[in-house]
Structure 1
Amino acid sequence: MKIMVVYYSAYGHVHRMAEAVAEGAREIAGAEVLMRRVPETLPEEVLKKIGVFDAQQAFAHIPICAVEELAAADAIIFGTPTRFGNMCGQMRSFLDGTGGLWAKGALVGKVGSVFTSTGTQHGGQESTILSFHTTLLHHGMIIVGLPYSFQGQTRNDEITGGSPYGASTIAGAGNDRWPSENELAGARFQGRHVAEIAARLFR
């Protein structure tokens, strides 16, 4: 059973969440978990100007995803930062290249799930995940979120990401807030939950 974690990360917050998602998925026996990044679309000079280039070097060792790889996965967990309440342009560009897979029905019946990051507490985490689901539904995927059996999303003693739609984190206006232990726990739970459901389907 193959689980893919496919994401885009600018400053590293989504990458940190992706690592936790992969950790959770690996807890399920028989799961082969692969981490992949989607291609960058911004030129290097722009990345350097906005302070992203150096940050991305920390996870530059993660291979770039080829669209064709998706067809071999039993479950795909996508991670994207939020841009104005929607997925980032890099992820949108990558998904727009999956038309050939759609034409062949290559992703029909596979498990799909989404996690995200925003700069602010109410920066569009839920709308990003829900609008992402539209693409997965067009591909015929089976959508899995983050159920309330992960009790960390009901706590109110701290500001935290996480909703029934998927795990999330808050990066802060200056991108200086990193995923809390509760947010990472939600990501691990989601990875494990997706892998459990994929395992049942795989059997």
Structure 2
Amino acid sequence: MKCKEKGKGTIEEVRGEKMKCKEKGKGIIEEVRGEKMKCKEKGKGIIEEVRGEEMKCKEKGKEIIEEVRGEKMKCKEKGKGIIEEVRGEEMKCKEKGKGTIEKVRGEKMKCKEKGKGTIEEVRGEKMKCKEKGKGTIEEVRGEEMKCKENGKGTIEEVRGEEMKCKEKGKGIIEKVRGENKEYFMGV
């Protein structure tokens, strides 16, 4: 009768199931079968594997295995070895006010290209570009270089001199300065 109820062909089979229950520390066959069901759903070969995954979930403070697996997927996508590394990167994104790791990495790449140590430095340079109405950091640096060469403190001063050149129909600042000198000497 028991065989029929359990959908088993022989008593030995039913006994075998009960034996498994004892080994797993389970009270009833249904529990063992439930575990096997989970194995099948998770694409696992043995119950121990499913339990191992659940243990990991508990360690990570996760409610479900899928979350832990999702994290692992991210590690793989990001070319990272461990979840902690990926999370660390995401933390940096949050700190930098960036939405994705790619953006933060992109910013770092720019720092390297510009010979800057930190994102803040590159951003500071960009800020200057915006203030000076320049498109690139190189342009602002070029202007600053001219200031240095002309013994001027600010870009505005150099530009003022250049403005005078244009007004006087002169090609270079030095000529305008020369004109000014002669004018004052004449006076």
TM-score by length of 2: 0.21
- Greater helix proportion: 2
| Higher radius of gyration, 1 or 2 | 2
